[in-house]
Structure 1
Amino acid sequence: METIHNPIKMSAAELSFLWATYLNDTMSVCVLHYFLQNAEDPEIKLLTEHALELSQQHVSIIKRMFINENITVPQGFTEHDVNLKAERLFSDIFYLKYIKNMAGGGLAGYSRMLPNIYREDIKNFYSKALTSALELERKATQVALEKGLAIRPPSIPYPQKVEFVHKQSFFLEGLGRRGSLSGTEISHLHFNIETNQLGASISTAFSQAAKTKKVKNYFLRGKEIAIKHQRVFKDYLEKNSLPVPPGFEQEVTSSVDSPFSDKLMMFHFSLMIYAGIGNYGIAISESQRSDLVIDYSRLNAEVLKYSEDGINIMVANEWLEQPPLSVDRKNLTKRQSL
């Protein structure tokens, strides 16, 4: 096949997005391949196969783009990072919740990337990826609804008349001044409880499966943080007599047979942490109660510190691939003067 070079060089954004997507999807290929080894429910298995096919397509397309433009292809994750013969670590219900969350993350990520992409072939790639993620999320939601596993956010009364805010305390003095929560605030609380429940479940599984003590302890600490954050968010809902979504840590088996390398599990957890930081940031920007903003801010600071400790573990073990960087002009000048 003839190699085709695009005359337009990738921008920093386009190169970085593709590089990160390649790593994420090679990880997903490993994880979803393992899921398929023991998935039993026909609908959930079909959904998993569809998710795997999408990740494989992404890896193939990005790899071809990089090769065509003489860009070093990242190592990412390979068959050496997954043990398909490992005992079952998760239930089918977990697979369904995981894929729904993964598709939601794709929707958020691709929609954030697209406005910063100008090259037609790359824009087409991410446009199709966004559409595919939307379809995957829709299918996952439908399966969850049909199986009675979908946990919808709480309902609130429909407005019966137009009303205006009369006191500044509605926005700035939520500490005990406004007892009710807005629909947006409820939505963020519900969503962040669910994502922390996923984090607690995965940290439970990974702590059981991790091979090294430092990595195992890191996941156990992550579980403690996820449970703590759930308590904070649940308290807001419970004080407003709103239902709290049930956890699903019970969907993790008692297996200690590791299906994934410690490198893959640490990378996977770092992605979840970064997504959580972004989720909290959006919640801060859309919350109109000062107590909520304060809680999200302090919890975000805790997650950032935890993330830094995880990066240190990855660097110490040479598990963290260096992303594409700009030219270090200062270093070039120093080398030239030697």
Structure 2
Amino acid sequence: MEDINHNVSLTSGELANLWTQYMNDSLTICVLNHSIKKVQDEDIKEILQFALSLAEPHIVKIKEFLKQENYPVPKGFTIEQDINLNAPPLFSDTFMLVYMHIMTLHGMTGYAGAVGNSVRADQITYFIECNKEAMELYERTVHLMLKKGIYSRTPHINSPEKIDFVDNKSYLSGWFGKKRPLNAMEISGLSFNMQKTAVKVVLEIGFGQTCQSKELQKYFNKGRDICKKHFETFRSFLIKDNLSSPNLWISEVSNSTVPPFSDKLMLFHIVTLVSAAVGFYSAGLSVSQRRDLALEYTGLVTEIGLYAEDGAQLLIKNGWLERPPMADDKDELSNSQ
């Protein structure tokens, strides 16, 4: 791409991309450093090491971008303050592979959005490269999960004999009477959200039994129950059509009560994931053409959104929520004169 930056400053969108990636990758580096030390399976360890080799240079590059703009580098998360390398493993090797797979899905989604939100040539080039890295990591995680027989495929459906068109308004129904079977887009959305929700449940169980704060423990346990309910809600739609559903993985949490991560890291991680779930649920809603499914998504979006807000309030209460890049408050500036 031709370099036509002309020393143009980063836009608010580009700052948001870099700030968000710094926060997420600094957290990921902490999680991976602990996991790599504890994982026994060499194949899974290799995946985690590869993921770490991608995340660490990102931090260096983002610091360079921000310093060039005279923009403060976020504090984020650090190995010194946010992990206990001596803590026993909290999750099984199997779950860490599943976790890495889901986090890679989040990464690809974020990087694709960052490319579309960037204008400066260096930013576009950087996030395209990040997306390529994430796609390679995705391919590796899927290959290893298939090899180990733990990948949850989206349910198979039979091919129709011919192309068909909807000729009855009952196709959109779902509240009363006979419901039509789910279509492929609806099935995909349900399965996709179930896979992500399953990971949140396991994290909330593990974080709930190791966090130091009773208030956070209550929050994680509440999230565990909410996400379990959401998982079962999604699953009920698939079961009614005799379709398979993803695993929940709740048996992959150890009995350790020694915290491997700081309360700050654990809370931020959950708040970030449930906030992202609002978007993923909404994407599922957007392709749902059965009214009962659309209505269910609407209720779940509201519930998970309120839970995310409660988590953000806890971050603020504990002084852990870093202020993201913001516009100037012109009213406040004028009143200060």
Which whole-Å deviations, capped at 9, do the CAs of 1:196-238 have from their partners, x for residues lacking one?
1111100000001100000011000000001111111111111
Secondary structure of 2:320's partner? Answer: coil
Deviation (angstroms), 1:275: 1.7
Contact 2:92 2:253 survives alignment (8 Å): yes
- Where structure 1 has 5 or more consecutive residues not aligned to the other structure, the ranges are none
Deviation (angstroms), 1:6: 7.3
CA distance in 1, matches of 2:217, 2:176: 38
Secondary structure of 1:244's partner? Answer: coil
CA distance in 2, matches of 1:312, 1:151: 35
Partner of 1:27: 27
CA distance in 2, matches of 1:186, 1:226: 19
CA distance in 2, matches of 1:102, 1:114: 18
Partner of 1:250: 251
Deviation (angstroms), 1:99: 0.6
Contact 1:81 1:260 survives alignment (8 Å): yes
Partner of 1:164: 165
Deviation (angstroms), 1:66: 1.3
Structure 1 residues 74-223: aligned runs within 5 Å: 74-79=74-79, 80-173=81-174, 175-223=176-224
CA distance in 1, matches of 2:264, 2:177: 45
Question: What one-letter code is carried by the residue in structure 2 that aligns with 1:91?
Answer: S
TM, length-normalised to structure 1:
0.96
Deviation (angstroms), 1:177: 3.9
**Structure 1 residues 39, 285: closer, same or farther in 2, change over 3 A?**
same
Contact 2:171 2:180 survives alignment (8 Å): no
Deviation (angstroms), 1:330: 1.3
CA distance in 1, matches of 2:274, 2:91: 20
Partner of 1:53: 53
Which whole-Å deviations, capped at 9, do the CAs of 1:39-69 have from their partners, x for residues lacking one?
1111110000000111101111001111222
**Structure 1 residues 160, 115: closer, same or farther in 2, change over 3 A?**
same
CA distance in 2, matches of 1:106, 1:89: 23
**Structure 1 residues 238, 258: closer, same or farther in 2, change over 3 A?**
same
Question: What one-letter code is carried by the residue in structure 1 that aligns with 2:144?
Answer: V
Question: What one-letter code is carried by the residue in structure 2 that aligns with 1:192?
Answer: N
Q: Percent of aligned positions with the same letter in both sequences? A: 35
CA distance in 2, matches of 1:151, 1:204: 21
CA distance in 2, matches of 1:182, 1:278: 21
Which whole-Å deviations, capped at 9, do the CAs of 1:127-166 have from their partners, x for residues lacking one?
0000100110010000000111111011001121011100
Question: What one-letter code is carried by the residue in structure 2 that aligns with 1:42?
Answer: E
Secondary structure of 2:188's partner? Answer: helix
CA distance in 2, matches of 1:242, 1:110: 32
Which whole-Å deviations, capped at 9, do the CAs of 1:227-276 have from their partners, x for residues lacking one?
11111111111111111222211111000000100000011001111221
CA distance in 2, matches of 1:33, 1:107: 21
Question: What one-letter code is carried by the residue in structure 1 that aligns with 2:120?
Answer: R
Question: What one-letter code is carried by the residue in structure 1 that aligns with 2:217?
Answer: K
2:285 counterpart of 1:284: yes
CA distance in 2, matches of 1:236, 1:173: 11
Contact 1:179 1:240 survives alignment (8 Å): no
CA distance in 2, matches of 1:241, 1:173: 17
CA distance in 1, matches of 2:49, 2:8: 35
2:317 counterpart of 1:319: no
Contact 1:34 1:83 survives alignment (8 Å): yes
Question: What one-letter code is carried by the residue in structure 2 that aligns with 1:246?
Answer: N
CA distance in 1, matches of 2:68, 2:165: 58
Which whole-Å deviations, capped at 9, do the CAs of 1:19-49 have from their partners, x for residues lacking one?
1110110000000001001111111100000
Deviation (angstroms), 1:194: 1.6
TM, length-normalised to structure 2:
0.96
Secondary structure of 2:336's partner? Answer: helix
CA distance in 2, matches of 1:6, 1:321: 31
Which whole-Å deviations, capped at 9, do the CAs of 1:91-132 have from their partners, x for residues lacking one?
110110011001111111111221120111111110000010
Secondary structure of 1:149's partner? Answer: coil
CA distance in 1, matches of 2:289, 2:234: 15
